Each structure stands twice: as C-alpha cells, then as structure tokens.
C-alpha cells in the first residue's frame, strides 16, 4: 500500500489587541462598554494591592506560604468577564481577581492563606470551586462538571486554569482528551508565565507553543497576549460561544510573565536575570490598561486615586475583620477537627476526641498552676 498523507490543521494564531503603550487595534476591539472596562480595572487593581498586602502579611508571619498573582490579572479578569453567573469557574492558584469578581470576599481569602479550611468556603449561589494547588488536578474536575452539564442538557460552560508547567502533567492530557472525545463545554486557559517554578519553558517542552497541544485532541487552540485584558476577553468570548453552542472545548494559551517569585518560598534571582524581568515589567497588564482608559477619558487620575483609597480601606477592614471571624466562629478550637467528617462519629474517633480533650484539660491546669 502506498504512503498517504493525513491532513491536519496545524495553524496556531496569536492574538493581541491592546499593546504595552495602551494603543488598541480598532479592528479587533471587542467594544466593551465604559463601565465594564472601568470595573475590569478596579478588580485588577484590587487584586494587585491585596496580593501585595498578602506578601507583607506573609513576611510578618501572619499567613503561610502563598503564590502571588501579580502580573496575571489580565488573564483572570479577561476570561471571567466572558462567562455568566450560572457557568462554572474552576481556578488554580493565581486566579485571585476572578475569584474576587465572582464574589469571594477578602476575609475568606485571608482565612484560606491563614490555613483555615473555612477559607475554601464558596459563597452561596456562586458556581466556583476553591483555589486548587495540586498541579493540573482541577482540570479533571472541570471536565467532569462540563460533562455533567452536557448530560443534563444545560447550556452552561466551565472555565479552568493551569500554568505552563502543568501542560506537561498527565492530568492535562487526560482532561483534554476526555473533553474532546465527549465534546464537553470546557475552556482550558493556560497561564504561560515562562517558568514552571524554576524551569523555563524551553526546558519543559520542545513544542513552540502550549496552544499547539490542542491539535492532538482536535480542538481549537490559540495563543494570546496574556497581559492584554481585551485579547483574553475576545479569545475567551469566542471559545465560550463555541462551547455553549455545543461545539466542545478550547485551549487558550495566555503569554505573560511571573513578575514575582513562584511562591513566597521561592527566590527567582537564582534562575532568572534582572534584565529579563525588567523587560517584562514594561509589558505588565495594569499599566497598559490604565494608559488606555485615561487616554479614552474613561478614567481620570483623580478617579484612580479615589479608587486606590477605597481599595486600601477595603483591605485594611478585611485584615481587621479576619481575626474577629476566627474568634466568632471558634475556628482555633482543636475539637473542631472531629466535627465534620461523619454524620455518626465512629468509636475510634470518639476515643481520640476524648483523649484530646483530656490532654487539653490537663495542659490547661498545668499552665494555670505554673502561672500562679
């Protein structure tokens, strides 16, 4: 038999609308109204300032290790604006702005990074999952939710997120394969910030783009400027429309840069040059959106200052309120660890709980005696 050619579409496009100088490609402008643009900037600024404050709190020992989201705001914001309330949002751990936009409170986010499981509690009526730290595992959850939507004949979609390093995980490929085979209405968004912790993209994969991995699963793939909130919005809006129309999943690779360490336990100076980081700082999302909004007279410098003051007060109040919530809800009571596992507690746990309470009583009495 002769060798025959199998035709495969290998074209991957790159989308950019708003450049680093705040100039826009008018032909590609998604034409968001002024309020939507101003709201986008507000939530991006809120997430940036809160992220910066979380870093200060971590350095003070008031919260645990956490991954900063600064520099990734356009990806989370641009995509979250493209879905509806009934749709599902399945984040990884840098979707701070999207979680705030969907209704998660600053106080709840503080509880999460302080180590309280109540920090993963989603507000009533919000179709979000908690932030997911295990790499790529949330993609399976997202695909499962999307498949359930399809089986129930719902016209909703799911947004889920990963980093570039996660595209090398088995869960990534399993999720894309399953979503493709069963035409699940899920949009996979990759935050390609150039590094999987300390490993640059060039040492992670030989593929030129993450987006081209969509070809293997016969689904649409596109690379966009991840610092351009309008480009992310446009690409996500198109993918959401396809998914809602029954045309299945999409993969969107958002090219950006991690302007912070991977987490507060990381030192990027050991593997990244100062020159490299400086070049990307000029491309960051907040600066370019602010330039565009001021140029369009949607935002004034005075309004920006008022926004900063409002955000500063919101963050201060949340930091004051979080310890009050811990006290009101008795979250520091160690007895609580037994209370939410079983409807009827088994005998071995009853015994462990009694032993803990007895030890706590003894320790309390010892401490009282010592203090006297």
Q: Is 7 among the domain residues?
A: no
Per the domain annotation, does 3 fall within a domain? no
Do 106 and 85 share a structural domain? yes
Q: Which of 139, 165, 143, 39 is nearest to 98 (CA)?
A: 39
**287 shares a domain with 139:** yes
User: pLDDT tens, 300-326?
Assistant: 999 999 999 999 999 999 999 999 999
Active-site residue flag, 72:
no
Burial of 303 (0-12, 13-18, 19+ CB in 10 A): middle
Edge-first strand listing for the sheet containing 186-192: 13-15, 221-225, 250-255, 186-192, 158-163, 88-90
142 vs 263 pLDDT, higher one: 142
Report residue 276's pLDDT band, with 50, 70 and 90 as the boundaries.
confident
Same domain, 311 and 182: yes
- Lowest mean pLDDT of 219-228, 286-295, 331-340, name the range: 331-340
pLDDT score of 251 more than 70: yes
Residues 246 and 358 in one domain: no
CA 76 to the chain's CA centroid: 6
Q: How many domains does the chain have?
A: 2
Residues 269 and 360 in one domain: no
204 and 323 housed in the same domain: yes
pLDDT at position 334, please? 85
Check if the beta carbon of residue 163 is closer than 8 Å to that of residue 134: no
Q: What is the CATH number of the domain that holds 191?
A: 3.40.50.970
Active-site residue, selected from the candidate residues 89, 102, 242, 258: 258
pLDDT digits (tens, 9 = 90+) for 204-240: 999 999 999 999 999 999 999 999 999 999 999 999 9
Predicted confidence (pLDDT) per residue in 48-106, tens digit: 999 999 999 999 999 999 999 999 999 999 999 999 999 999 999 999 999 999 999 99
- In terms of domains, do 203 and 185 share one? yes
Q: Is 321 one of the catalytic residues?
A: no
- Tell me the pLDDT tens digit for each residue of 106-132: 999 999 999 998 999 999 999 999 999
- Of 102, 223, 242, 262, the catalytic one is 262
For CA atoms 190, 196, 202, 207, the dihedral sign is: negative
Residue 1 lies in a domain: no
Check whether residue 134 and residue 88 sit in a common domain: yes
Task: Assess contact for 192 and 12: CB atoms under 8 A.
Answer: no
pTM of the predicted model as reported, rounded to 2 decimal places: 0.91
- The answer to whether residue 371 scores a pLDDT higher than 70 is no
In the prediction, which pLDDT does 11 show? 86
> Does 278 or 50 have the greater pLDDT score?
50
pLDDT reported for residue 366: 55
Do 275 and 366 have their domain in common?
Answer: no
Confidence of residue 365 (pLDDT cuts 50, 70, 90): low
Nearby residues of 337 by Cβ (< 8 Å), 6 or more positions away: none
Same domain for 311 and 343, yes or no, is no
Range of the domain at 209: 13-328
């Amino acid at each position: 038999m002769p060798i025959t050619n199998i035709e495969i579409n290998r074209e991957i496009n790159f989308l950019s609308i708003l450049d680093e100088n705040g100039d826009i490609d008018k032909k590609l402008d998604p034409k968001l109204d002024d309020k939507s643009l101003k709201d986008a900037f507000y939530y991006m600024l809120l997430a940036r300032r809160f992220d910066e404050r979380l870093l200060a709190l971590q350095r003070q020992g008031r919260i645990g290790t956490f991954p900063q989201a600064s520099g990734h705001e356009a990806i989370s914001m641009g995509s979250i604006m493209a879905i509806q309330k009934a749709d599902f949002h399945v984040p990884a751990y840098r979707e701070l702005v999207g979680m705030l936009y969907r209704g998660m409170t600053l106080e709840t986010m503080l509880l999460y990074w302080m180590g309280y499981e109540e920090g993963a509690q989603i507000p009533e009526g919000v179709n979000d999952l908690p932030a997911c730290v295990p790499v790529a595992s949330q993609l399976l959850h997202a695909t499962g939710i999307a498949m359930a939507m399809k089986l129930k004949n719902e016209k909703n979609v799911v947004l889920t997120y990963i980093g570039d390093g996660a595209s090398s995980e088995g869960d990534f490929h399993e999720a894309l394969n399953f979503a493709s085979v069963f035409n699940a209405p899920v949009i996979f968004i990759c935050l390609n910030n150039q590094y999987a912790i300390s490993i640059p993209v060039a040492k992670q994969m030989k593929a030129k783009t993450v987006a081209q991995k969509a070809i293997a699963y016969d689904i649409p793939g596109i690379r966009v400027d991840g610092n351009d909130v309008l480009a992310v919005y446009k690409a996500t809006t198109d993918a959401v429309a396809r998914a809602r129309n029954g045309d299945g999943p999409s993969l969107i690779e958002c090219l950006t840069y991690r302007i912070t360490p991977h987490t507060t336990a990381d030192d990027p100076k050991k593997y990244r040059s100062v020159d490299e980081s400086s070049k990307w700082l000029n491309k960051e999302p907040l600066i370019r959106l602010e330039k565009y909004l001021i140029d369009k007279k949607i935002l004034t410098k005075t309004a920006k200052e008022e926004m900063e003051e409002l955000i500063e007060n919101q963050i201060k109040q949340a930091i004051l309120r979080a310890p009050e919530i811990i006290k009101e809800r008795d979250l520091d009571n160690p007895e609580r660890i037994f209370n939410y596992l079983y409807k009827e507690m088994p005998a071995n746990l009853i015994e462990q709980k009694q032993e803990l309470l007895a030890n706590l009583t003894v320790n309390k009495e010892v401490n009282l005696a010592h203090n006297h």
